[in-house]
Structure 1
């Protein structure tokens, strides 16, 4: 009898401990939920200025007991009079065991607008859905962003449209990159982009294939990014030896397949300079299309065809890949020793 009473007492104590822990966890969960909701409200009031405006409608928090799920209706972000982003619903997921990582997803109408100074025309982008992940470092600063958007239409002035099926990528920021002159440290920014089914307006490249099946890019950016505007940032980056390492660049455009790597930088006039090595197939058809489109002269096309044919082993398959070197310098693109075509000057103002 005494043993049964002792066991019963232990069970009661055990249940009391479990209930106490569950109650404490629930109270903690509710406290964090309250802080998150009030934090978003404070964020809305704090950044409601002329330069930056953050607005939204109702916020709903769920996800108990494993985490917190925020549903934000009609979030709206405006930066000065240059950029506007809005969507019907933004969903953010936070896990209790991984507080440094946030997953987000958009639903419904998803739009972004980019405006130019003293111009009524602007660039408008529409997206169906967007998903991503945001990771913070130990100090609460952004360390990595991953994203993916589908079924996109970009409306640019003059009634032109750029469409693509899917864009995904990631940006990794290295906060430890603090030395001004040593560019051999870990890259300050790592960028990866994967773009599929890109359709550009026919007016951009008449008589050329206007659908690019796939573009992949993986780069490491070395150097400090500091300044008050884009031109100032690029000037400082160039002065301190900033360079971009292109680890992988892949292009599938019509019959052309391109796979290469190399380096990219800017000269003292902030114009591109680059050196690439690549393997390509489908080069002859692409060169002929560029001649027909008037992008290169006929004699340049003949010379390029002769050069690429000389690199091909006639005993092998017709679509054999060839190795080439590309360079951008003094405003021209070079294919090996041949000046391919002139690159328009970039104005950063």
Structure 2
């Protein structure tokens, strides 16, 4: 066989391979669109409202991308809604258990649990992440990184990472896990949550939690779902909560449930450094008087004697009967999660002052990592939050 014939044979084989691969790619694209439409029909039958203008395909030749344009998704009873101009899901035709999610167009999010968001949605300028479906069908894992986030009441977040794992089927056992999750944010401003006169900048925060209990019917109202979940023994175990805010470095763990009025019922063991400096800032802002600040400084000095670290104290934080308390000091009233969902709670008694109570001896919970403390000036890199390890794949 001459060189010319050999060359023609190689070219012919390559053309056949390209043609076969192109046919497989377009077949996979049609199959993916059909599967997506089936999924939309299934979600609509469960009460979700899903709409989109069209579905575009791309990514040829080595990946397949489906882009939903002008889309909107609303949960039953509009407990939350998400909408945007474009959202792209990308995957490999030979790897159908992992999907990359991205959007470089603004996304709008509102939820009943986020006050004022239905009037002023949370806007996410950039979103990336991935969705992993285990082949055994046991669980799903979703990880998202959102950048340049803004919302109601002046809320802004430089970067926020969220990851969670959910079972494939909704659990009915009261002790089963509905979801495990990890949340980490860097560079947040929350003017609506910070008293006037204090810094609105939160350098970093971390939350690791597990929600347990049977999953209520999604077609019920938010109040009904929360009540059913509470009555069936549902609760939240927070394995780690950490906050870096100005001089305050706070960390701990605890549990959360709901009382009969759908108010949080919580008990946390915390440890912190920077309480004396924080008390001074509260005094400068006019939130406490000089005598209270001196009491706090005295307490910090006494409680940190055996801690092995100057200025580090351990203390309980509780929410009971609608009152948030730091040790023996009542700080503020906590309203029901869903206003007007049930009978009015009893009148809150005036906080007692001047009590001297010994603090329980609590085991030291984890502290905010050094990476997190430095993250205020360096945004997270890649697709995983860097200040704390992402859940294992």
Report the TM-score range of the alignment, normalised by the length of the smaller protein: 0.7 to 0.9
**3-state SS of 1:206 partner:** coil
- Summarize the Cα distance change of 1:296–1:266 in structure 2 as closer, same or farther, 3 Å threshold: farther
1:77 alignment partner in structure 2: 73
Partner of 2:238: 246
Indicate if the aligned counterparts of 1:88 and 1:107 stay in contact, CA closer than 8 A: no
Q: 1:27 to 1:167 in 2, by over 3 A?
A: same
Alignment partner of 2:257 out of 260, 265, 270: 265
CA contact (8 A) 2:48 2:73 kept: no
Partner of 1:122: 119
Aligned to 2:96: 99
Residue 170, structure 1, aligned to residue 163, structure 2? yes
Q: Please tell me whether the aligned partners of residues 332 and 339 of structure 1 are also in contact (alpha carbons under 8 angstroms).
A: no
Residues 250 and 204 of structure 1: CA distance in aligned 2, closer, same or farther (over 3 Å): closer
SS of the residue 2:278 aligns to? helix
Q: Does structure 1 residue 201 correspond to structure 2 residue 191? A: yes
- 2:264·2:337 contact (CA, 8 Å) conserved in 1? no
| Structure label with greater radius of gyration | 1
Instruction: Select between 258-267 and 168-177 the one with higher mean Cα deviation.
Output: 168-177
Question: How far 1:268 sits from its partner (Å)?
Answer: 2.8
On the 8 A contact 1:126/1:153 being kept in 2, the answer is: yes
Residue 226 (structure 2) pairs with residue 234 (structure 1) = yes
Give the CA deviation at 1:84.
4.9
CA distance in 2, matches of 1:121, 1:68: 34
Report the Cα distance in structure 2 between the residues aligned to 1:259 and 1:105, rounded to whole angstroms: 32
Query: Among 39, 56, 60, which residue is 2:56 paired with?
Result: 60
With a CA cutoff of 8 Å and minimum separation of 6, indicate the structure with the bigger relative contact order. Answer: 2
TM-score, structure 1 normalization: 0.78
* Aligned residue number for residue 216 of structure 1: 206
- The answer to whether the 8 A contact 1:56-1:76 is kept is no
CA contact (8 A) 2:110 2:117 kept: no
In the other structure, the counterpart of 2:275 is 283
| Local SS of the residue matching 2:151 | strand
| CA displacement 1:120-171 (0-9 Å, x = unmatched) | 970222222101112234487971211111111113xxxx311111111112
Q: Render the CA deviation track for 1:79-112: whole Å, top value 9, x for unaligned.
A: 6894553333322211123212211110133333
Q: 1:88 aligns with which of 85, 88, 92?
A: 85
* Aligned-partner Cα distance in 2 for 1:289–1:74: 47
**Structure 2: gaps (5+ residues):** 342-393
Q: Against the structure 1 CA distance between its residues 127 and 281, is the aligned structure 2 distance closer, same or farther, given a 3 Å change threshold? A: same
Alignment correspondent of 2:25: 29
Q: TM-score, normalised by structure 2?
A: 0.70
Which residue in the other structure is 2:303 paired with? Answer: 311
Alignment RMSD: 3.9
Please tell me whether the aligned partners of residues 115 and 123 of structure 1 are also in contact (alpha carbons under 8 angstroms): no
- SS of the equivalent of 1:122 reads coil
- Once the 2 structures are TM-superposed, how far is the Cα of residue 114 of structure 1 from its aligned partner? 5.6
Question: Does residue 184 of structure 2 align to residue 191 of structure 1?
Answer: no
Which residue is 1:111 aligned to? 108
Distance (whole Å) between structure 2 residues aligned to residue 332 and residue 236 of structure 1: 23
Secondary structure of 1:284's aligned partner: helix
How far apart are residue 194 of structure 1 and its match? 0.6
Cα drift, residue 199 of structure 1: 0.9
Specify whether residues 120 and 273 from structure 1 end up closer, same or farther in structure 2 by C-alpha distance, changes over 3 A only: closer
- Partners of 1:273 and 1:329 within 8 A in 2: yes
- In 1, the alpha carbon distance for the partners of 2:172 and 2:74 equals 33
Worse-matched range after superposition: 308-317 or 320-329:
308-317
Give the Cα–Cα distance (whole angstroms) in 1 for the partners of residues 68 and 264 of structure 2. 42
